[in-house]
Each structure stands twice: as structure tokens, then as C-alpha cells.
Structure 1
Amino acid sequence: MNAYASIKLVPASKIDTITTTELKEYFLYYKDITAKTGDQVDWTYGQAAFPYEIIDSNEKQAEQITLYSEKERYRAILISIQKEKIMDHDNTPRIQTNICFTLPEGATFGDKGKANEYCKFLAKKLQAELHLFNGRVMYYYKRKLQ
């Protein structure tokens, strides 16, 4: 199941660039808030909401982390930070940061569901543009009418 989704940090986003350390902080925050929800309902929701271990890896020049799980329904999600040069609507070049979610071979439908959940969470927090696995685009930033 090779599939890709990406979060694009556009000019209207909360931040222009992100590091793997900051990404890990967002995932730790996600684990914390889901654990608190679990405490309120007296259930271990934190473990069900984030069944992964965060593993650092540097591959060539792209920063990457892996969410790895040994749970029955989950395997892995690869998350990399990539930069691309694009042209704005007024033909000025700029560097855009993309957070890419990749489901490697052997990934399960559980991984795809969790990756969608994490993509939406991050895109909302960063006020970014989300390109989902199915090709659809969700805008979490205020768009201007032209």
C-alpha cells in the first residue's frame, strides 16, 4: 500500500518551515491531549489514539521520522520534511515546506486511517493546505477571494 499525503505550509500558514523536533513535539502534544481525554472517560484512549513509537532517521538530505508500531493493526508511517521551490501568483519564487506522509509497503488500513487523522490534526494546528491520500485538498487557512 504505497500512498502519499502532504501538508503544504503556504504563506497564510501559521509558520513557514518546520523541523523534525517540532513535529515530534506536535505528536507528543497529541499523545498528551488524547491521554487526558482517556482519563476523563476512564479508558486508555491515549494508547489507542497513538499506537506508535517515534523513531528518528536522517536519509540523505531530507529530514524524516518514522512512526513504528508492533500492535496488531498497525505497522509504520513515514513522515519527511521536504522543501520545494515554487512560483507565487505574482511570479516571485519562494521556498515552500511540505510535510509528506508516506505509507510504505506492508502498511495496513489502520495506518492509513491514523495517517489521515494525524494529517488533519497537523494541518489544522499549522493552518496549512492538506493534500489527502485520495487526491482531495483541504484548506485549513483563511483563503482570500481574488
Structure 2
Amino acid sequence: MSQSAYLYFTEGSSVPSVTLEELEQYLGRYKEQTSKTGQQLDWSYDEAAFPYTIEKKPEGEGVWFYLKAKDEPYKYIVFGVGTEKTDDGGERHYIQVVLPDGSTHADKSKGNELCKYLARTLKTELHLFNGRIMYFNPRK
């Protein structure tokens, strides 16, 4: 059964929402940062830190894309953006990260790592795959 993690944009988030293209840019920035770390260590760390390629399908245009693994033990992770209604009649934007059926424990670990990076960067509220909540947004 597939599992999902959510990054909810709140009042203290650095941006109110992101588009799929912006999400792709944030993942590109993550890969760039790990590449620079690898240069300092004289090791191809970017391949270990981001062992995926970004793939798109016509049916997911503007809604989701997935990361396809280059090597084992990884397989794939799906990223999507959306909006939901709140109890008070407003809207809240979110990023959904899905581990589809067939994903491995390595995908789950990498998914958690990418979610934490995005949540820290965007200052969002992160609901992990196991149901726990981490707050990266400023709260009073």
C-alpha cells in the first residue's frame, strides 16, 4: 500500500505555495548543493544523495512528476502539488510526496530526507510518512 507525506504551507512559510516547476527547481538546487559537497570531499556525492532522474507523464502534466531511480535499491517517488479546503472555509496549499506500491525502504529514507530539506527550505509543516509532524515554520 502506498504511503504519503505532506508539506503544508502555513502563515509563517517562506512562500504561500509552489508550482510543480518551482518544486522541480528546489530539487535541482538540492542536487546542486550535494554536488558541491561532493567536490569538497572529492567524491561523487550528488549521485548518492540524489540517485534519481525527474520523469514526467502526459497524464500528470501540471499536477505531479516522479523520480525514477538510476540504480538499485531505489525505485521511484512521486511528487505533486495541490490545494485543499480548510475547516474555516479557506484554502491551504501543500506538496504531497508519495511512495507508490513497489517503492523500497531506500526510497522511504530518501523521501524523508528530501521532505525535510524542502520543509526546512520552504518553512512548512511536515507530516511524515509515519504520521508524525515536524514544524519548520515559525510558530508562536
TM-score (norm 1): 0.90
Partner of 1:122: 118
Aligned pair count reads 140
2:3–2:129 contact (8 Å) kept in structure 1: yes
Unpaired stretches in structure 2, ≥5 consecutive residues: none
CA 1:57–1:18 in structure 2 vs 1: closer, same or farther (change >3 Å)? farther
Partner of 1:105: 101
Shift of 1:62: 6.5
Partner of 2:130: 134
Partners in 1 of 2:59 and 2:80 — Cα distance? 9
Unpaired stretches in structure 1, ≥5 consecutive residues: none
Partners in 1 of 2:122 and 2:95 — Cα distance? 11
> Which amino acid is 1:52 matched to?
Y
Shift of 1:59: 3.8
> Which amino acid is 2:124 matched to?
A
2:56–2:65 contact (8 Å) kept in structure 1: yes
Could you say what secondary structure the match of 1:79 adopts?
A: strand
Identity of aligned residues (%): 41
CA 1:65–1:84 in structure 2 vs 1: closer, same or farther (change >3 Å)? same
1:66–1:77 contact (8 Å) kept in structure 2: yes
Runs (4 or more) in structure 1 with deviation over 3 Å come to 57-62
* Alpha-carbon displacement from aligned partner over 1:60-97 (angstroms, at most 9, x marks no partner): 7861010011311100000111110113xxx4x32111
Structure 1 or 2: more strand by fraction: 1
* Alpha-carbon displacement from aligned partner over 1:42-74 (angstroms, at most 9, x marks no partner): 110000000000112354786101001131110
Partner of 1:79: 79
**RMSD between superposed Cα atoms in Å:** 1.5
